[in-house]
Structure 1
Amino acid sequence: MANQRRKPRRPALAPKKSTVTLLGNLTAVAVDTETTGLDTARDRIIQIGGVRIKSGLLNEEDHCNQLLNPEMPIPDISRNIHGIADEDVCDSPKFIEFASQFKNWIGDSVVIGHSIGFDLAMFKRECDLSGINWEAPRTIDIRHMVDVLSPNLPDYSLETLASWQNIQAHDRHDALADAQMTANVFIALLPLLREQGIRTLAELENACRKANNRSVDEIKSGWYDFLYKPDDDPLHHSPARIDSYPYQHKVSDIMSTPLFFATVKDTVSHVLDILMERKISSIVVKPLEPGPEHGIVTERDILRAINRHGIAALDMHIQDLATFPLKTVQHNEFLFRAIGMMDRLRFRHLGVEGPNKQIVGMLTSRDLIRQKSTDAVNIGDAVLHAETEQDLASAWSNLSQVAIGLDRENVDVRNIAAIISEELRAITRRACTMAEKEMVDNGLGHAPVPYCMLVLGSGGRGESLLAMDQDNAIVYLEGDPGSETDQWFEKLGQRTSELLNIAGVPYCKGNIMASNPEWRMGLQQWKSMIESWISRTRPDDLLKTDIFFDAVAVHGDESLMKDISEHAFELGSASRSFLSLMAANASNVHSPLTMFKRFKLADGRMDVKIGGILPIFSAARVESIRNKILHKSTPERLNALLEMGKPAELIDNLTEAHRIILTAILKQQLFDLENGIFLSNKIAPDKMRPGLRNNLRWALEQVPSVTDLLGVPAK
């Protein structure tokens, strides 16, 4: 065995530890040691092996493998196990000489191991002997992960765990080989954890604390106790403060207008005169004929032309300098998307498209210079340009940290919900395009007919928070259920949902997904189904109708969605029986307050969706159908009703109650997220600050007034 192994390498950027990091996006190191024996009070380390894991993938090239001089004889019983003899380590560095290099290689990564408590105890002993301050890393033991999964295994040895996951064992009791095997087992367990709803580091730690039955025996054996206690976790995540401006303002708020245009036949001299006279840095170039996309010429393009051609450049046609096509962003996009796009493309100018795809403004780096934020703004662009499952998961994993940062900046919860919803739509769009490309690459061909992918429910309303799951559907132009066309879209729906689940958006428990034939149909089948929902008005039909009326198109031929949406509004607004049943359903408020205005709690929590926001957004939806209001979000629907003459005090109170309840849910979800508690709409009012708790009580008192909005008797 060689005395000196490859030196460990430090990653270019050590990622910050975060409790909210998705396990599939975790940057970690799997570590193992070989020692002179098993006594953590007497023995020494003779080999350290480690390998890096990044975004669910093993990077065997980035590894650590080092023999150490233990400064004591290696007993025969130990040498017979790992094969390392005194002569193999006599010229190796001592632990104190290697410790700094090893610490730098680990960086801020999570440490993964098998029986890692023993290895940590040995590291602590070596640090104590060397006079080095011991800092315990955030740690995961794959044996504790298996405890959570509770398989029926004869034992939890590394060989058994590897065999269970069909991982080949080799070079046992070599630290590097064991670390690599540990890493492979960890990666193999991630999908099993995901099936149980365990997706983040905090959720795994919390589950391990509850499931682990080994801690006492391990501590008695001298192992290091690394399972964190929720109340004294020194590594509680605190993200850097972020500039909230790009998350609260749209492109249309700061774009430059009016626009100035040139044609491809205009001269550089003429365009330069316009730039100087109007004090602008770019001009949009129109094509000679309608149809082709617009281009752009900037002041830098002109300077480069003059530098290259001298004064003759002024007589050149602008088409010789223009860049086609002009890259654009939608006028109603949040600024953080535009910032991410400009950073990725390294552009200083973006055209702004209006509702009718016309160029209505220009967004420049000068417009954004004071809006530059942290790297978190790039989440939207990262989602849109993800190429692999890992890319998608990596981009999505930043969303919770953005939500934490925005909440700490006191950003309105409705803006935070709108951002989360916009990213939910974006990741659904990207997962769909990735799935479609995979199908083409696998020989299944392109979509047989035009189609549209929809996002439903809270994602469609723009009111999703962090406990969202998948609610999606597909409408395609034509094709019967079970036909080849339908089978193609079934595969598309299945792969889209799979990609979303891997990225961190769980499968819908109610199976409201395009993989389900009830939510994947041809245009005429959709119209017939909607007619059936509205005419029969069974409880299950009402639920489906509720979800559908919040749908938005996120990918494909949006005219298909527009067609069935208009059809649904026409039928729904004309059916008195349907509207009456919808109104009765929305007004059936199960208040979480007692008659004495106290909170009704079960295990210290109460569900403020069922008795809080649900009646408000349901009532706003019913009235939007009745009055053919096409807005999707609850505040926009309520505001439209105000403009139509509904009582101002009633609308204002319901709007404010909706905001307060959403705020309470988000605050609870952020707390639960960082403490590994499964996210839901149930909140613990006793844990709230008094001001928010009192506001929540007032908000819940307003909810029964939805009956006044709906014009139905109070129950």
Structure 2
Amino acid sequence: MTDTHADTSLARIESFPYRHRVSAVMGAPLAVARPGTTIAEAARRMSGSGISSLVVADEAGRPVGIVTERDVLKAVAAHGNSAADVPLGMVMSSPVATVRDDAFVYLAMGRMDRLKVRHLVAVDEAGAGIGMVTARGLLRQRAATALMIGDEVNVATGPEDLAAARAKLPELASELIADGVEGLGIAAVTSSVLRDLTARAAELAQAAMAEDGWGTAPAPYCVLLLGSGGRRESLFGADQDNAIVHAGSAADDPWYAELGARMCDMLHEAGIPNCHGGVMARNPEWRNTVAGWSERIARWIREPQGSELLNVHIFVDFRPAYGDRALARAVRESLRDQAARSPHFLHAMAQAAGQIRAPLGLFGQFVTKDGRLDLKTSGLLPLTAAVRMLALKHRIEATGTGERLARLTAGGHMNADEAQSFRDNHELMVRTLVRQQLADLAAGLPLSNRIDPKRLGKADRARLKGAFKSINALTWVMQNALSTV
């Protein structure tokens, strides 16, 4: 259950290495010694300066080798008491790995990875050493906010810590927007943090249950993240959509019920609100064995009507957040096979999703309420639903909208230009919603999925109207395609 588009977006998040030069991250001045310097003198210099290495350079300042604390220890082991007088030229590692000081940071990172080294000497245009790039220094510089959030989640001890980490998401989003990262890339990062928060909440809940006498899990289980979180398309106002699949029996449900309740309570306290529709593992209908989930899927298929159809749309996009992924995989396979064999079910889902129409008036103007329109309901929901249904029809297991479009194209089920157009429309809507939510937060307004079209420039207003029309066309295609499954 991978999502190529989400992975691509996440790869682009690290904008620092592509915007900054080695000179911005190197340590300077460079600690240099000559080949004839003794180990004793080198050890004194490293100890006195608090550094872990010395660059050995020739008369022109060009690096010819490097000596680290490990090299010193090896020399002592090899030469015993006489090691103090051994010249660095005899023990240095050579040749030394270098990088130009005006190279971009990503080049240094790639070179370190390829050469499996933790130090690079930064050199000027003449080849003289002028600074040192270390793996530790790069970690301090790259994606500081994202790394900080991830680390805070990993060491969180309760809902207050989780809330503090989550509160940094808008700041991170603002940085990413300034760096030119796509809206879908920002949504992928937000979803990644949501998954990590869910996983940590489950982990903490399980530990607390053990302390309170509940013991360990009676059988393996997996917490599932549903809806936009499963698609890696969540933004700041996402609520909880989660479930549990386990390998236990009906007699084991009380343990999983307690886990679900504690996990959901912790997430709610951390600022991820309870789902208004009750789609949470604390509720019995969202906990099941693999066989139980297969039976519920079969029931959805036999009786595709009412609110259950909405639940199906939310569930279909699940991905594992914590626990035994093999259980999630088994549920995915059951869903894939049953849905593809059930034209009546797909048709009913398509008809329900197709009832949503774009908020455009007779003359193409935006139709708003109190000056705003719900971009999720009127744009994102019908687009993702249509792509979801086509993916189910063609047994595509991907959960992300971008990857579903890519696989529909690869399978010959959708024209490449059309798929790219839908992907562009998706990006436009997500980027617009991100900017609106950040603006609302800055203004002290509550988060919502409603945007003010007047905030958009003329070109983006025109593009958004075009996107709405395109989505109307897609839902029509989807309904017709699924009526002939």
TM-score bracket, normalised by the shorter chain, equals: 0.7 to 0.9
Q: 1: CA distance between counterparts of 2:138 and 2:253?
A: 45
The match for 2:248 among 463, 478, 488 is 478
Name the residue aligned to 1:448: 218
Is the Cα contact below 8 Å between 2:14 and 2:142 reproduced in 1? no
TM-score, normalised via structure 1 length: 0.50
Q: Deviations over 1:50-88 (max 9, x none)?
A: xxxxxxxxxxxxxxxxxxxxxxxxxxxxxxxxxxxxxxx
The alpha-carbon deviation at position 305 of structure 1 amounts to 3.9
The alpha-carbon deviation at position 696 of structure 1 amounts to 1.5
The match for 1:494 among 261, 272, 275 is 261
The match for 1:704 among 466, 472, 475 is 472
Q: 2: CA distance between counterparts of 1:702 and 1:527?
A: 35
The structure with the greater share of residues assigned to helix is: 2
Q: 2: CA distance between counterparts of 1:526 and 1:632?
A: 18
Name the residue aligned to 1:587: 354
Q: Does 2:344 align with 1:577? A: yes
Name the residue aligned to 2:454: 686
The alpha-carbon deviation at position 589 of structure 1 amounts to 3.0
3-state SS of 2:224 partner: strand
Note closer, same or farther for the CA distance 1:309–1:699 as it changes in structure 2 (3 Å cut). same
Q: Does 2:270 align with 1:503? A: yes
Is the Cα contact below 8 Å between 1:420 and 1:465 reproduced in 2? yes
Q: 2: CA distance between counterparts of 1:373 and 1:447?
A: 36
Name the residue aligned to 1:420: 190
Q: How does 1:543-622 map to 2 (within 5 A)?
A: 543-622=310-389
Is the Cα contact below 8 Å between 1:665 and 1:681 reproduced in 2? yes
Q: Deviations over 1:208-263 (max 9, x none)?
A: xxxxxxxxxxxxxxxxxxxxxxxxxxxxxxxxxxxx9976259xx9xxxxxxxxxx
- Give the letter for the 1:551 counterpart: F
- Percent identity at matched positions? 35
Q: Deviations over 1:91-134 (max 9, x none)?
A: xxxxxxxxxxxxxxxxxxxxxxxxxxxxxxxxxxxxxxxxxxxx
The match for 2:232 among 450, 462, 471 is 462
Name the residue aligned to 1:310: 78
3-state SS of 1:473 partner: strand
**Any unmatched runs of 5+ in structure 2?**
1-8, 19-66, 81-108, 110-116, 120-133
Q: Does 2:306 align with 1:527? A: no
The alpha-carbon deviation at position 370 of structure 1 amounts to 9.9
Is the Cα contact below 8 Å between 1:246 and 1:371 reproduced in 2? no
Q: 2: CA distance between counterparts of 1:555 and 1:713?
A: 36
TM-score, normalised via structure 2 length: 0.72
The alpha-carbon deviation at position 677 of structure 1 amounts to 1.4
Name the residue aligned to 1:650: 418
Q: How does 1:55-454 map to 2 (within 5 A)?
A: 248-249=13-14, 302-303=70-71, 305-311=73-79, 365=135, 368=138, 372-454=142-224
3-state SS of 2:465 partner: helix
Q: 1: CA distance between counterparts of 2:164 and 2:310?
A: 34
- Once superposed, which parts of structure 1, at least 4 consecutive aligned residues long, lie more than 4 Å away? 244-247, 299-302, 366-371
**Any unmatched runs of 5+ in structure 1?**
1-243, 254-298, 313-338, 340-346, 350-363
The alpha-carbon deviation at position 713 of structure 1 amounts to 8.3
- Give the letter for the 1:560 counterpart: L
Is the Cα contact below 8 Å between 1:421 and 1:462 reproduced in 2? yes
The alpha-carbon deviation at position 630 of structure 1 amounts to 1.5
Structure showing greater relative contact order (alpha-carbon pairs closer than 8 Å, 6 or more residues apart): 2
The alpha-carbon deviation at position 694 of structure 1 amounts to 2.4
Is the Cα contact below 8 Å between 1:479 and 1:486 reproduced in 2? yes
3-state SS of 1:521 partner: strand
The alpha-carbon deviation at position 693 of structure 1 amounts to 2.2
3-state SS of 1:534 partner: helix
Note closer, same or farther for the CA distance 1:598–1:440 as it changes in structure 2 (3 Å cut). same
Q: 1: CA distance between counterparts of 2:281 and 2:308?
A: 17
Q: 2: CA distance between counterparts of 1:467 and 1:608?
A: 13
The alpha-carbon deviation at position 492 of structure 1 amounts to 0.7
Note closer, same or farther for the CA distance 1:504–1:307 as it changes in structure 2 (3 Å cut). farther
3-state SS of 2:480 partner: coil
Is the Cα contact below 8 Å between 1:650 and 1:705 reproduced in 2? no
Q: 1: CA distance between counterparts of 2:72 and 2:354?
A: 67
- Give the letter for the 2:394 counterpart: N
Q: 2: CA distance between counterparts of 1:247 and 1:682?
A: 27
The alpha-carbon deviation at position 375 of structure 1 amounts to 4.3
Q: 2: CA distance between counterparts of 1:367 and 1:539?
A: 56
3-state SS of 2:288 partner: strand
- Give the letter for the 1:702 counterpart: S
Q: 1: CA distance between counterparts of 2:202 and 2:371?
A: 40
Larger radius of gyration: 1
Q: 2: CA distance between counterparts of 1:700 and 1:608?
A: 10
